[in-house]
Amino acid sequence: MSFKIVSFFSGAGGLDLGFEKAGFDIVFANEFDKDIWATYELNHPKTHLDTRSITEIQDDDIPECDGIIGGPPCQSWSEAGKKRGINDKRGQLFFDFIRILETKKPSFFLAENVSGMLASRHSESLERIKNTFLEAGYDLHFKLLNATDYGIAQDRKRVIFIGFRSDLKIQYQFPEPIEDKKTLQDIIKDLEDTAVPAINKSKPNPDVVIPNHEYMTGGFSSMFMSRNRVRSWNEPSFTIQAGGRHAPIHPSSPKMIKIGTDEFMFAPDCEYRRLSVRECARIQSFPDDFIFKYTDVNHGYKMIGNAVNVDFAHILAQSIKDALKNAPNKY
């Protein structure tokens, strides 16, 4: 049986791709950022992409579906952002996601967000979101998960909301962590010698042999230099963030040297470079034939950093699929 999925806040489609790998059919996607449209349409040619804001989408615009998935914008909840949570218009988009969920009444939903929404200052807002999911008629499963516990070569903590329509009486458990740990050596070692610098700090380099295998150049902010940004080959990556200025340093470099409180420096006479767009994509589990379209390399980093890790999404999607197949009340 094929399950039909509607995707919101789709970005480049990392979450969508993970669900497709698990056998789901993405019949409708929505993404408002014009810098992403070309990438999504190129890599998801069978999916209709709606480019309006979710606030403008009416219930009748959306096809019937078995599930709704998405990652409402996370900047409002992020430790690196303004931390305004639900008081920011972007934070309020969670409720448009729930509005559509409540009307379409699919069998399940999945929503993903950053760990920052668990901060005590957001506790009241978080409880409100949870209660709104429950009031919409769903049994809610909620947990903070780290991708590195599931065979992903990246420390990436994310809050996962999964809900099943209450009448289905589904007993769901999040996937158990696995012992197989992957490292940067396993994921990007073969790309080490083929990366090229961006042109004029952030323009695509036409000399790339491997698509998107260029890295942003230029200086590093004091915030970047406030801690070590190098993981070794035998470690998982730091979290891939949504911007080239925040990209981790390539693991061929030595660890940075602490010289004061929240202050590090690069080791003298050593070469340091940011991970390339393609290396970040590998760490986020995007396949090499997934091509990112951009005129500014920073947009490539942004698309990848904002995405849900593809293999992590696949694991969650498979657990949902198994739960649906074993539902006591078939639909």
Looking at the chain, the whole-number percentage of residues with pLDDT higher than 70 is: 93
Looking at the chain, the whole-number percentage of residues with pLDDT higher than 90 is: 82
* Summary mean pLDDT of the chain: 92
Largest CA distance in the chain: 66
* Mean pLDDT (whole number) for 263-281: 97
Residue 303: DSSP 8-state: H
Name the region of 83 (left: φ>0; alpha: ψ -120 to 50; beta: rest): left
Residue-range domains of the chain with CATH: 4-177+309-325 (3.40.50.150)
With contact defined as beta carbons under 8 Å apart, do 55 and 96 qualify? yes
pLDDT at 83 (0 to 100): 46
Q: Which tens digits make up the pLDDT trace of 46-92? A: 999 999 999 999 989 999 999 999 988 755 554 544 544 444 454 57
Q: 31-35, 154-158, 251-255, 327-331: which has the minimum mean pLDDT?
A: 327-331
* Residue that the structure tokens 């942004």 belong to: 302
Which uninterrupted H or E stretch holds 26?
strand 25-30
Q: Which tens digits make up the pLDDT trace of 122-166? A: 888 888 888 989 999 999 999 999 999 999 999 999 999 999 999
Among residues 65, 74, 270, 280, the one annotated as catalytic is 74
Residue 74 designated active-site:
yes
